[in-house]
């Protein structure tokens, strides 16, 4: 149940973030925004880490051999953030950006299949096709609405 609650809270927070990006921050430079975001994130992460330590909770950090993977994933976050925020700073709307981003589970699933081997089953392939159709319909609907 905890993963579901976390995912729902993230969904709500990301939704607000998207609206703020479109309505209040889209006129600013992508990298400048990212610097402000990251300067905010680092102290929040350090404070959270200190809280965990003070409260006696287990802190499981990646071991030395995993650091390269952590750096790689951190780099992927940076570039993903750049392109995501850049979608707004280059004139994208909430509807357009989020309609495209809802394809994330489809791409993640395909990547996972290639990573671990095997092929998606018929239900997954149908789900991929329905996801593409839904994005096309939402995009078409937003063009008609304007």
Final residue before a domain boundary, out of 66, 90, 114: 90
Q: Where are the alpha helices (DSSP H) in the chain?
A: 2-20, 30-54, 67-89, 94-101, 104-116, 122-145
Mean pLDDT for the stretch of residues 13-33: 96
142: in domain? yes
- As a whole number of Å, the end-to-end CA separation of the chain is 40
Final residue before a domain boundary, out of 90, 111, 132: 90
Rounded Cα distance between 103 and 132, Å, is 7
Q: How many domains does the chain have?
A: 2
Which tens digits make up the pLDDT trace of 67-98? 999 999 999 999 999 999 999 999 998 888 88
Final residue before a domain boundary, out of 67, 90, 113: 90
Which tens digits make up the pLDDT trace of 114-125? 889 888 889 988
- State both tokens at 121: 């089953």
23: in domain? yes
pLDDT of residue 2: 92
DSSP tag of 23: I
122 lies in the same domain as 72 = no
33 lies in the same domain as 6 = yes
33 lies in the same domain as 64 = yes
Q: Is the pLDDT of residue 146 over 70?
A: no
24: in domain? yes
pLDDT greater at residue 106 or residue 23: 23
Residue 106's pLDDT band, with cuts at 50, 70 and 90, is confident
Mean pLDDT for the stretch of residues 26-43: 98
Residue 75 structural domain: 1-90
């Amino acid at each position: 149940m905890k993963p579901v609650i976390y995912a729902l809270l993230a969904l709500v927070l990301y939704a607000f973030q998207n609206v703020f990006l479109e309505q209040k921050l889209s006129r600013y430079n992508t990298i400048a925004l990212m610097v402000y975001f990251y300067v905010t994130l680092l102290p929040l992460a350090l404070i959270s880490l200190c809280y965990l330590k003070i409260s006696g909770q287990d802190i499981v950090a990646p071991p030395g051999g995993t650091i390269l993977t952590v750096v790689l994933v951190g780099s992927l976050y940076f570039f993903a953030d750049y392109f995501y925020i850049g979608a707004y700073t280059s004139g994208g709307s909430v509807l357009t950006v989020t309609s495209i981003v809802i394809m994330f589970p489809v791409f993640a699933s395909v990547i996972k299949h290639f990573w671990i081997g095997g092929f998606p089953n018929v239900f997954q392939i149908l789900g991929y096709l329905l996801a593409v159709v839904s994005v096309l319909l939402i995009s078409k609907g937003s063009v008609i609405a304007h």
